[in-house]
Structure 1
Amino acid sequence: MTHFVDDLLAVARSAPDLVALRWFGGRDGGRVREEVTFGSLAERVERTASGLRAQGMEPGDRVLFSIRPRPEGVVLCLAVLRAGGAVVFVDPGSTPELFAARIAAAKPRWAATEALLYAASSGPLRGVARSRGLLLPDYGRLPVRHLYTGAWLPGVPRGARRVTSLGRVAPGSGRASATGAGAPGVTGEADREALVVFTSGTTSDPKAVVHTARTLGGMLGLFARVGDLKPAQRAHTDQMFLGLPAIMAGGTWEIPAKAPKDAPEAFARGVAGADSSFLVPADVTALLDVLETRSRAGGTTPAEGPAVLAVGAAPVTVALLERGRRVLPGTRWLAVYGATEILPAAVTDADEKIAAAAEGDLVGHPLDGTGVRIDPEAASDPEAAAGADGADGAGEPAGGDGERVVGELVLTGPSLMAGYLSDLDAGGPRAVEHRTGDLAYRDVEGRIVLVGRNRDMIIRGTVNIYPGLFEPRLRDLPGVADAVMVGVPVPDGDERVVLVVTAEGGTRTTGTPEIRATTELTRSVADQVGRVVDHGALPDLVVEASHLPLAGRSRKPDRRALVSLVSPVTGTVRA
């Protein structure tokens, strides 16, 4: 198997004059700021890879990457992989303690960052960032080799190299390393680490998913099939999951000036008439809000969107797809299921998912090469599995035995991660499957239908939050007797994180719990929660309950009941 970057560069050289990247900008985000042809893309990637090697990059080097989608960042990302390095994504908005723990776990030798981020984290703009609640880590002090994009700004560390200057090195002129990486090319290194993504965990145990060039290539290939990508098509998205497959298919990746949720008007103009796009549910909501506002202001014709719009990276609800079909009836809506560990795994279109809503959460047929196993022994809470989301565990047989087999969904496939960073760095074996934590069954057509969760996990945005990691610390806060974190679903598929606490000395244990949003205890906990909960898991709201509802033989907190109880307090209507 060749390295997917080799495949991409081969496509680029076969059609050098076609546009590979188109980046939008300007005040309203509607102006084409830069276009990069396939020929220029291939040359820039090769030159930048040679420049990286000339600066001392070795195969296996990890590069902390904090650059927004734009041509300069795309070129650098591909060049790092071309030079044998690995890209490490770490959220700079996490707490300084968690950021430091993730850096210690990843052990990067390089950092690639926008000059503006250096200025905001260690330069004259640091005060402005802090006044807006951004406690950014001091990038300039990281003991690594520094690369930056954009014009130099105060705060960029001495000795940092501007990414564009790396491209002045002729391909093949990089110095030879001890491992023979002096000339361009990474063919034959498909099992080398290529991508590291931190997904969850605590400061003491940060959790990161590792993909190799092989599994990342498998991921891009599957997304190409999801979007039915073809030469000369336009893919308008800020997500590399669709952007890179688009150019590998010979199409144009159009990159919006800002994330869709930050500039929905500009995105709505740019995506109109595109062949495909990929959005997370929160971005879809922002797009539909703009289009509906425009329609109410006097629009007489249906809004125009892309031919195909894939939605994923978080749960996709029927309510969101129904709204999407109503606002953009000419668009084919797809719901993509998967996880950072294996993405994508299954896909279904809006019509199919909506029609099957009564049976559970249909996520569709598994994609080519994806193996599916239902493990009934792993269903740790049979009471939660039975009847969850409308499925009762009985009905049409999955295996012809007269009963539906419900259990934890276990997946394998070409995009399965190599493993978790801590395990692999400790010399552990590579992953052979991924236990999703979702309870599911296969219907008579072989489609995957989710019926609940096997783990108490909350998904907010694209972050997985495990309450069990934080609840013991929360129970130790002054005045708190018990603490439970729950996710309250909202119509676009996201979840609001609500922390439910009870007070020490409370005596009520029966009846329907009373929920209050503003008490002396909730104010006290809200002031202290940042000390014991990681930034990505901070609750959106803290409420006090007179007591916790219990369920099951084990008499554990009934999280499902709590969600129903706190929904009115949060102003959220369950999807």
Structure 2
Amino acid sequence: MTAPEVQASPADRHLLAPILAHGEPGHASAGEVALRHWTRPGRSGRRGTRVREEVTYADLARRVTATASALAAGGLAPGDRTLFSVRPRPEGVVLAFGVVRAGGTVVFVDPGSTPELFAARVRAAGPSLATTESLLYAVSRGPLRRLARSRGLLLPDYAGLPVRHVHAGPWLPGVPRGSRSARSLAATAPTSSTLPSLDPDREALTVFTSGTTAQPKAVVHTAGSLLAGTDLLRDVFALAPGDVVHTDQMLLGVPALLAGATWSVPADPPSRDVQTFARQLDGAAGTYLVPADVTTLLDAIEAGHVAASGPRTALVGGAPVTRALLERATHVLPGTRWVAVYGMTEILPVAVVEAQDKLAHDGDGDGDLVGRPLPGTVARLDPVDDPGQGGPQVGELVLSGPSLMAGYLHDLDTPARGAGPRAAAHRTGDLARIDADGRVVLVGRTRDMIIRGTTNIYPGLFEPRVAALDGVGEAVLVGLPQVDGDERVALIVTSASPARGASTTSAPDAGAGVHLDPHHPLVDHVRARLPAVLDHDALPDVVLHADRIPLAGRSRKPDRAALARAAAQRIDAAGGMTWRTASG
């Protein structure tokens, strides 16, 4: 006689269900380390790096439940949204999980966006609570605001937001009166009986991706879609209890917690301190890097600054992962399993491809192999408007699956919160074909987008703001692909004609003969004003003045490909011209 099959509860599909279960009394993982947070190195280098804090699964579960109980007692109701600007250290992880356990939604709003865009996103989210780093409160008011402004950060006035406040970190001047400490919330007596049941279909995360001040665009995920996506990543890592994942990315650290492994949290991301980050990779089961981070890591190894010892598995994503980058990575760290991840905020992950498979592919001229869709993910190709884009076997990639978002915020909130349609599929904007083995091969894009680091930059959002500056006729943002798959951002501007707003654009000519000048007087004028009109993460690496903007196609749109080629040639010819970093 066969034993009856145990039916899974709907609550089991909630992101927090397996994580909190690891902390239950008697569970094998209860006493194991869930979170390990490192300090910055002192002057002594490696010996100055130590563990700042360790949190066991039992303590993590207790702190999350305590935080949720305190938030609920303070007025956070299921469905409420919480602005979230806290780094993924233990205090931030507990706070984010606490919001979700109380039935709330974590809303990531970039503090580096322009004040107008930040305000528009706050209005769109309609939060009842703001959870913020103490330091952000301090530098958004008073004399420290000028310091932040000099670093390229035009921060919003967090303390002035008309919501309840919770601050992470020690109290600092600028923290609003009545703000509660995240640490004190986690220290209260947990009362799980007062909390709502774990509903996998409840909204849990909102991430703004693009849009305008009139209609900011934000992706909304449920607790169920987050579990589905992070569980797929756990399988890709092949994680088990006792493993260590070293990453500063929350959605890549969560798979470690699902597996009963340890999430090792660096004091700084690899882009800021790659040497310390690399030393802590030794013995780790996995990490996650964007292509630019991989380049920085390999540079440090080849320069002899760190030992050539990497993690068991390195996932690389967030931007196109080139064959050249993987060839170099597998040569420098042959003992590491290199895996390229393809996905997007709307649905992550979609597909993965092992380095050896991508290197064995026919090459970049035949498209970018991103791999076979992961279990449960369904990919199809829809015809494109222009039949000349890629041939008959190419179409726009459309995706669906359990890790798909619930939808976009402006759709879900229309006509009333939660009453909008749920997403059935996502049109990616990627042109692709599917080979005989069922693998997705990307061949282009249907719309303009630049990917730098972990940031998607939509030119159409920012170009009108630059074009509105005094003295500017037109403005075009283009991406310049780098060998590691990352993109640099070039802003190309023209001078306004005597009749303000008149176009300086020439007839279609494929960009031949466009003159780009990095020393034109308008360049310095524009560069000085960019922090006030662009998101911090969208600031260009270089600004160039063009005598005209070439057009292409029957639609007579700016020829971005020609401008990108001209900009790359101009920079190469300049030799000593250095990139202006996005951090200003």
Cα 1:477–1:157 change in 2 (3 A) is closer
Name the structure 2 match of 1:184.
195
Name the structure 1 match of 2:337.
332
**1:315 lines up with 2:316 in the alignment:** no
Name the structure 2 match of 1:406.
394
Q: Distance in 2 between matches of 1:253 and 1:127?
A: 36
Name the structure 2 match of 1:569.
570
Does structure 1 retain, via aligned residues, the 8 Å contact 2:222–2:405? yes
**1:6 lines up with 2:17 in the alignment:** yes
Q: Which AA in structure 1 matches 2:372? A: H
Does structure 2 retain, via aligned residues, the 8 Å contact 1:236–1:253? yes
Name the structure 1 match of 2:183.
164
Name the structure 1 match of 2:546.
545
Cα 1:415–1:571 change in 2 (3 A) is farther
Name the structure 2 match of 1:370.
377
Q: Which AA in structure 1 matches 2:357? A: E
Q: Distance in 2 between matches of 1:318 and 1:278?
A: 18
Q: Distance in 1 between matches of 2:166 and 2:427?
A: 37
Name the structure 2 match of 1:27.
41
Cα shift readout 1:70-122 (whole Å, capped 9, x = no counterpart):
11111111111111111111111111221111111111111111212211112
For residues 79-478 of structure 1, the aligned pairs below 5 Å read 79-122=98-141, 125-172=144-191, 183-187=194-198, 189-294=199-304, 303-356=308-361, 357-358=363-364, 359-376=366-383, 378=384, 380-383=385-388, 385-386=389-390, 393=391, 405-427=393-415, 428-478=420-470
Name the structure 1 match of 2:76.
57
Secondary structure at the counterpart of residue 280 of structure 2 = helix
Q: Offset at 1:500? A: 2.2
Cα 1:193–1:547 change in 2 (3 A) is same
Name the structure 2 match of 1:178.
none
Cα 1:528–1:51 change in 2 (3 A) is closer
Does structure 1 retain, via aligned residues, the 8 Å contact 2:246–2:264? yes
Does structure 1 retain, via aligned residues, the 8 Å contact 2:134–2:171? yes
Q: Distance in 1 between matches of 2:215 and 2:531?
A: 18
Q: Distance in 1 between matches of 2:190 and 2:545?
A: 63
Does structure 2 retain, via aligned residues, the 8 Å contact 1:124–1:154? no
Does structure 1 retain, via aligned residues, the 8 Å contact 2:111–2:155? yes
Secondary structure at the counterpart of residue 278 of structure 2 = helix
Pick which of 327-336 and 471-480 moved more. Answer: 471-480
Name the structure 1 match of 2:480.
488
Q: Which AA in structure 2 matches 1:105? A: A
Pick which of 485-494 and 537-546 moved more. Answer: 537-546
Q: Distance in 1 between matches of 2:551 and 2:256?
A: 50
Name the structure 2 match of 1:41.
60
Does structure 2 retain, via aligned residues, the 8 Å contact 1:202–1:534? no
Q: Distance in 2 between matches of 1:23 and 1:256?
A: 6
Cα shift readout 1:4-53 (whole Å, capped 9, x = no counterpart):
21221112221211111111114347211111111111111111111111
Q: Offset at 1:497? A: 1.8
Does structure 2 retain, via aligned residues, the 8 Å contact 1:171–1:184? no
Consecutive unaligned residues of structure 1, counting only runs of 5 or more, are 174-181, 387-392, 394-403
Secondary structure at the counterpart of residue 374 of structure 1 = strand
Q: What's the TM-score, normalizing by structure 1?
A: 0.89
**1:75 lines up with 2:94 in the alignment:** yes
Q: What's the TM-score, normalizing by structure 2?
A: 0.87
Q: Distance in 1 between matches of 2:549 and 2:157?
A: 42
Consecutive unaligned residues of structure 2, counting only runs of 5 or more, are 1-9, 43-47, 498-503, 576-584
Q: Which AA in structure 1 matches 2:514? A: P
Does structure 2 retain, via aligned residues, the 8 Å contact 1:223–1:241? no
Pick which of 445-454 and 24-33 moved more. Answer: 24-33
Q: Offset at 1:532? A: 4.9
Q: Offset at 1:564? A: 1.2
Q: Which AA in structure 1 matches 2:34? A: A
Identity %: 58
Name the structure 2 match of 1:516.
517
Q: Distance in 1 between matches of 2:245 and 2:464?
A: 45
Q: How many residues align?
A: 540
Cα shift readout 1:479-529 (whole Å, capped 9, x = no counterpart):
544432211112232222212234456697554322222213333443455
Q: Which AA in structure 2 matches 1:4? A: L
Q: Distance in 1 between matches of 2:484 and 2:144?
A: 35
Cα 1:472–1:268 change in 2 (3 A) is closer
Pick which of 212-221 and 463-472 moved more. Answer: 463-472
Cα shift readout 1:154-186 (whole Å, capped 9, x = no counterpart):
11111111112113332227xxxxxxxx62353
Q: Distance in 2 between matches of 1:132 and 1:530?
A: 10
Q: Offset at 1:439? A: 0.5
Q: Distance in 1 between matches of 2:476 and 2:232?
A: 38
Q: Distance in 2 between matches of 1:139 and 1:551?
A: 44
Q: Distance in 1 between matches of 2:454 and 2:517?
A: 29
Q: Which AA in structure 2 matches 1:83? A: A
Secondary structure at the counterpart of residue 315 of structure 2 = strand
Does structure 1 retain, via aligned residues, the 8 Å contact 2:153–2:531? no
